[in-house]
Amino acid sequence: MTESKNTCDIDRLKNVTAAIGDSYLNLGGINHLNEPNLPARREVANLVKRLSAIVFPGFYEEITGNKERMETHLLTQCSNLVELLSNLIHKSLKHDCNEGFKCVRADGDCWSGATEIGYRLLEQIPAIRETLYKDIEAAYNGDPAATNYYEVVLSYPSVQAILVHRLAHVLAGENVPFIPRMMSEYIHEKTGVDIHPGATIGPGFFIDHGTGVVIGSTSVIGKNVKLYQHVTLGALSLSNVELIRKKNRKRHPTVEDDVTIYAGATILGGRTTLGKGSIIGGNVWLTKSVPPETSVTFDSPYLIFKNKGKSEKHVIDYQI
Prediction pTM value: 0.84
> Going from the N-terminus, what domains does the chain have, and what CATH number goes with each?
35-193 (1.10.3130.10), 199-320 (2.160.10.10)
Coil vs helix vs strand at 11: helix
Burial of 191 (0-12, 13-18, 19+ CB in 10 A): buried
CA-closest candidate to residue 244, choices 266, 219, 270, 268: 270
Asked whether the beta carbons of 188 and 136 are under 8 A apart, the reply is: no
Asked whether the beta carbons of 187 and 167 are under 8 A apart, the reply is: no
The residues with which 195 forms a beta bridge, in sequence order, are 215
The phi, psi pair for 229, rounded to 5°, reads -65, 150
Measured CA to CA, the distance from residue 85 to residue 126 in angstroms comes to 18
Asked whether the beta carbons of 263 and 228 are under 8 A apart, the reply is: yes
Measured CA to CA, the distance from residue 140 to residue 151 in angstroms comes to 9
Sheet (strand 200-201) strand order: 200-201, 220-221, 254-255, 273-274
User: pLDDT value at position 30?
Assistant: 62
Measured CA to CA, the distance from residue 289 to residue 201 in angstroms comes to 19
Of the chain, the end-to-end C-alpha distance in Å amounts to 76
**Sequence-separated (6 or more) residues with CB below 8 Å from residue 10:** none
CA 77 to chain centre: 24
Between 179-191 and 157-173, two packed helices, what is the crossing angle to 10 degrees? 170
Measured CA to CA, the distance from residue 280 to residue 298 in angstroms comes to 10
Measured CA to CA, the distance from residue 277 to residue 256 in angstroms comes to 8
User: pLDDT value at position 320?
Assistant: 47
User: pLDDT value at position 215?
Assistant: 98
Q: What is the pLDDT along the chain (320 residues), one digit of tens a residue?
A: 555 566 678 888 888 988 888 887 777 656 555 556 788 899 999 999 999 999 998 776 666 566 677 788 888 889 999 999 999 999 888 876 654 445 555 555 778 889 999 999 999 999 999 999 999 999 999 999 999 999 999 999 999 999 999 999 999 999 999 999 999 999 999 999 999 999 999 999 999 999 999 999 999 999 999 999 999 999 988 777 666 665 678 999 999 999 999 999 999 999 999 999 999 999 999 999 999 999 998 877 777 777 776 767 666 665 54
User: pLDDT value at position 88?
Assistant: 94
**Sequence-separated (6 or more) residues with CB below 8 Å from residue 40:** 31
